[in-house]
Amino acid sequence: MKVTVKFTPYFRAQTRTEQTVVHLNEGAQVNDLLRVLTAQYGEGLRDLVYAANQDSIDVWASVIIDGKALPLPLAPESNIKLKEGSVVILLAPVAGG
């Protein structure tokens, strides 16, 4: 199945692209997608996405799938499944004051 991943500017600095299409097996979960992306784009993206222990998504990043934000941190055993045509957006932390 094909999943579109969009990168906000924070992540674009590492991936050097605004978006990509990833081919995954049917029934793939969001963690499968993140493993593919970090393998493709390297250590820099991995460090932005995962917490220091590599067991969960960093609380600083947000992941939105088909318009719905995921609760963070996301454990590796999470069962959030993707579907054909899903759109995943990786968002940077938002700060303000």
Range from 5-14, 49-58, 66-75 carrying the lowest mean pLDDT? 49-58
Q: Which two tokens stand for residue 42?
A: 């390297």
Which pLDDT belongs to residue 80? Answer: 82
Q: What amino acid occupies position 76? A: P
* pLDDT tens-digit map of 57-88: 555 567 888 988 876 556 555 668 899 999 99
**In residues, how long is the chain?**
97
Global confidence as pTM: 0.80
The class (CATH top level) of 2-91 is: alpha beta
Q: How far apart are CA 78 and CA 30, in angstroms?
A: 8
> In sequence order, what DSSP letters do the residues of 19-71 get, joined into one string?
EEEEE--TT-BHHHHHHHHHHHH-HHHHHHHB-TTSSSB-TT-EEEETTEEPP
> Residue 52: pLDDT band by 50, 70, 90 thresholds?
low
